[in-house]
């Protein structure tokens, strides 16, 4: 397996451009199953996760073409059964359920397996499908949904840890072809949900309120093809802003929608970094002695859980004692043991990491465990003295397009070592 070596202590500067959003591309690509007509999606990042989704669409019978970031999908005739071997590599494949149920009125999709970041049930997705009139069975590891017809309903998407993002997407994609009106209460308000709703509306759907906690969907008889640009990846943008904070002397992240990263830029400003927000770029500058922070992850527009690990890496060398509370995936702390291997002082107390800032980190061999934890280890490596060796970088390739190349463009001494 490839690994990444980071020779720390080199200051980053300059600008970097953000790729298209992974978490927008995945449900939007799944939504192309809702029509027989060709769809064209631009700005799809070249990641193993988007590759997996294209393999799933091809397996179901869709014609798929890809030319750099542009993907064309024509799902003229499709099957509605996606077995374990096809979907097991990526949890997000669960978001083909809604489009298949909406279009084919039936679907059999293997249940997603366990996830290292924590317990990730899909009960809210299934509850939503049942409310639309579908029968739902989980049998021998498969989810089987069936409905002679779907009828609009009022559905609450709030779970124990807040609204569900992919659950809101899935129910929205099933409801666009249902009879009558569906009201999603306490829906997820993430920008990726809005981007999906915009794509569906271009296909002829009637969705109002995406981005707010109540979404109203007037069902239509059928959808047509459409062309769409996915939004920039706010988590990739956030990761580069933290890179600029942890090891920069002036880094600008371009092609970012500032309001999508506001919770992060506010947090960075609160702990002392100079943040300059322009129309479609954000710049970050060190500003003397960066301080500690009390942080809690929340559903959008709160502080994103997908930036929690990166912030732990940053706060590990900021002066004072910080606390980071993970409210979405309370056990999402696989990065902590690895940061401690680099000399960080972190105490886990339930869903809170108490971080005592240290003067320096030291490079060490560390193990990536999941997408965002691995990004945090790379960021810590930029700051650390000596060389950090991040193993299992396939986790990074799931969600970051050419992370190491982009960081070296900013002046990082980083290299990818191919497996022999």
CA end-to-end span of the chain: 8
Question: What residues are paired with 74 via a beta bridge?
Answer: 38, 63
Q: Which of 95, 115, 271, 312 is catalytic?
A: 115
**Sole window of 55-63, 155-163, 241-249, 357-365 interacting with ligand EPZ (rule: CB under 6 A):** 155-163
Q: State yes or no: residue 123 binds ligand EPZ (CB under 6 A).
A: yes
Cis omega before residue 301 (within 30°)? Answer: yes
Please indicate whether residue 115 is annotated as part of the active site: yes
Contact yes or no for 255/229 (Cβ under 8 A):
no
CA distance readout (Å), 51 to 90, 191, 286 = 10, 22, 37
Tell me how far the alpha carbon of residue 86 is from its chain's centroid.
Answer: 20
Rg (CA), the chain: 21
**Binding pattern to ligand EPZ, positions 387-406, x when CB under 6 A?**
------------x-------
Task: Find where tokens 């029968």 sit.
Answer: 135
**Of residues 86-105, those binding ligand EPZ (CB under 6 A):** 92
Among 223, 328, 373, 403, binds ligand EPZ (CB under 6 A): 328
Which range binds ligand EPZ by CB under 6 A, 40-48, 162-170, 196-204, 226-234? 162-170
The interface with ligand EPZ within residues 201-260 (CB under 6 A) comprises none
For the CB of residue 101, give the shortest distance to ligand EPZ in the complex, in Å: 15
Task: State yes or no: residue 119 binds ligand EPZ (CB under 6 A).
Answer: yes
Q: Which of residues 27-66 bind ligand EPZ (CB under 6 A)?
A: none
Smallest distance, Å, CB 173 to ligand EPZ?
A: 13
Question: Which region among 55-63, 163-171, 287-295, 379-387 touches ligand EPZ (by CB under 6 A)?
Answer: 163-171
Query: Shortest distance, CB of residue 90 to ligand EPZ, whole angstroms?
Result: 8
State the burial class of residue 270 (Cβ atoms within 10 Å of its Cβ: 0-12, 13-18, 19+): middle
Is 166 a residue that touches ligand EPZ (CB under 6 A)? yes
| Pairing status of strand 63-67 against strand 70-74 | antiparallel
Binding to ligand EPZ by residue 196, rule CB under 6 A? no
Q: How far is the CB of 103 from ligand EPZ (least distance, A)?
A: 21
159 scored as a contact of ligand EPZ (CB under 6 A): yes
Q: Does 161 bind ligand EPZ (CB under 6 A)?
A: yes
> Minimal distance in Å, beta carbon 52 to ligand EPZ?
11
Residues in 125-154 that interact with ligand EPZ by CB under 6 A: 125
310 is an interface residue for ligand EPZ by CB under 6 A: no
Of the candidate residues 28, 62, 71, 165, the single one contacting ligand EPZ (CB under 6 A): 165
Active site residue ranges: 115
Give residues in contact with ligand EPZ (CB under 6 A): 23, 26, 92, 119-125, 159-162, 164-167, 188, 192, 305-306, 328-329, 371-372, 399
């Amino acid at each position: 397996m490839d690994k990444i070596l980071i020779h720390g202590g080199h200051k980053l500067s300059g600008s970097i451009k953000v790729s298209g959003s992974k978490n927008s591309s995945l449900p939007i690509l799944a939504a192309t199953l809702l029509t027989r007509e060709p769809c064209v999606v631009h700005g799809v990042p070249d990641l193993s996760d988007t590759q997996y989704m294209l393999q799933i669409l091809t397996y179901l019978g869709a014609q798929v073409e890809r030319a750099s970031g542009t993907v064309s999908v024509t799902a003229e005739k499709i099957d509605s059964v996606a077995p374990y071997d096809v979907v097991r590599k990526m949890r997000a494949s669960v978001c083909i359920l809604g489009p298949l149920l909406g279009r084919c009125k039936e679907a059999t999709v293997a249940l997603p397996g366990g996830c290292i970041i924590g317990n990730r049930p899909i009960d809210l997705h299934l509850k939503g499908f049942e409310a639309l009139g579908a029968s739902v069975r989980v049998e021998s590891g498969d989810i089987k949904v069936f409905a002679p017809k779907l009828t609009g309903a009022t559905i609450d998407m709030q779970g124990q840890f807040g609204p569900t993002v992919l659950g809101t997407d899935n129910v929205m994609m099933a409801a666009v072809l249902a009879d009558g009106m569906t009201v999603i209460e306490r829906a997820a308000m993430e920008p990726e949900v809005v981007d999906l709703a915009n794509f569906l509306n271009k296909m002829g759907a009637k969705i109002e309120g995406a981005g707010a906690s109540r979404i109203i969907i007037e069902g239509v008889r059928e959808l047509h093809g459409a062309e769409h640009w996915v939004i920039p990846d706010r988590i990739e943008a956030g990761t580069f802003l933290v890179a600029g904070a942890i090891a920069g002397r002036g880094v600008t992240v371009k092609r970012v929608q500032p309001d999508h990263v506001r919770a992060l830029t506010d947090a960075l400003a609160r702990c002392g970094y100079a943040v300059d927000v322009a129309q479609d770029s954000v710049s970050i500058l060190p500003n003397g002695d960066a301080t500690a922070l009390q942080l809690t992850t929340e559903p959008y527009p709160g502080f994103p859980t997908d930036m929690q690990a990166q912030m732990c890496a940053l706060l590990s060398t900021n002066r004072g004692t910080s606390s980071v509370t993970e409210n979405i995936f309370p056990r999402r702390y696989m990065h902590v043991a690895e940061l401690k291997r680099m000399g960080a002082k972190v105490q886990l107390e339930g869903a809170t990491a108490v971080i005592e800032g240290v003067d320096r980190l030291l490079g060490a061999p560390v193990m990536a465990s999941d997408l965002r934890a691995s990004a945090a280890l790379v960021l810590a490596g930029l700051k650390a003295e000596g060389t950090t060796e991040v193993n299992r970088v396939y986790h990074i390739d799931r969600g970051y397009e050419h992370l190491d190349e982009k960081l070296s463009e900013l002046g990082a001494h980083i290299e990818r070592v191919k497996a022999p």
